[in-house]
Amino acid sequence: MAATDWSAKQYLKFEAERTRPSRDLLAQIPLNSPRNIVDLGCGPGNSTAVLLSQYPNACVAGMDSSPDMIQKARETLPRVEFTVDDLSTYTPQEPVDLFFSNAVFQWLPRGQRLKTIKRLMQLQPSGGVFAFQVPDNLAEPSHVSMQETAADGAWSEVQSAVRDSFQSPQEIYDELKPLCADVNIWHTYYNHSLENHEAVVEWVKGTGLRPFIDPLSPADRDAFLKAYLGRIQKAYPKSVDGRVLLRYPRLFVVATRN
């Protein structure tokens, strides 16, 4: 993940849209009454709240690498234990029936992702579930435009900050199946209706655009965002009501321990 802190305020500008995948992931989890649940990369606690609503009698905890996100989560859900931790080294103190992760593992280096998931799964009891979803949008205009903007400007140093593509469903299945009784994998394509092109920029400023703009000076950041907006305006047509549809594919995995 990026070395600088994340902004809970920026992330929550689109709270409803960012929380919906949590509900869609939760709907496919084959557990009725898990005792211990950990929300990996819980962010500001929006996904944790979904878990609490579904499993009110469970012991639910959350962890994230961002102090700002954890501060917001603690303010929102003061009765939940939230900790600042590094996902690649995080180890729970007790067996976990459900590991849940909403849009976090894409930020780990490619070689660490499935290794981290398998390490945590091996700590789970038989029948435990590891459920996660990640954006699968690097080929979308929103993200292709980031790379094109970076290549055309005086900010080439940000090119190395682009996240790696996620493993394919086949790679995920082959890595996890030896540990699992079942591995359920699917894609969903959301089409978010946003107010205008500027809203598309605001959306990705909270996540995917950060590695590109965080290293820049304020002047270069403003210039980058202006150039990026111009590409977004060309890539996404306006709808009949003047709004803009942002297509957003996501990859979902629900793995059940054998």
Q: What does the domain layout of the chain look like in residue ranges? A: 8-257
Secondary structure element (H or E) that encloses residue 129, with its range: strand 129-135
Average pLDDT, integer, range 211-227: 91
Question: Which of 153-161's residues contact partners 24+ apart within 8 Å by CB, and which partners?
Answer: 153/220, 153/223, 153/224, 153/227, 154/220, 155/212, 155/215, 155/216, 155/220, 155/224, 157/215, 158/211, 158/212, 158/213, 158/215, 158/216, 161/2, 161/211, 161/212, 161/214, 161/215
Judge whether residue 8 has pLDDT over 70: no
pLDDT in tens, 68-108: 889 999 999 999 999 999 999 999 999 999 999 999 999 99
User: Measured between alpha carbons, how far apart are the two ends of the chain, in Å?
Assistant: 31
Radius of gyration over every alpha carbon of the chain, rounded to an integer in angstroms = 19
Torsion over CA: 46, 49, 54, 60 (sign): positive
CA–CA dist 24, 54 (Å, integer) = 12
Is 182:213 a contact under the CB 8 Å cutoff?
no
Is 52:60 a contact under the CB 8 Å cutoff?
yes
Judge whether residue 150 has pLDDT over 50: yes
Judge whether residue 11 has pLDDT over 50: no
Among 77-81, 128-132, 213-217, whose mean pLDDT is lowest?
A: 213-217
Res 1: pLDDT: 37
On whether the 8-257 domain is CATH 3.90.550.10, my answer is no
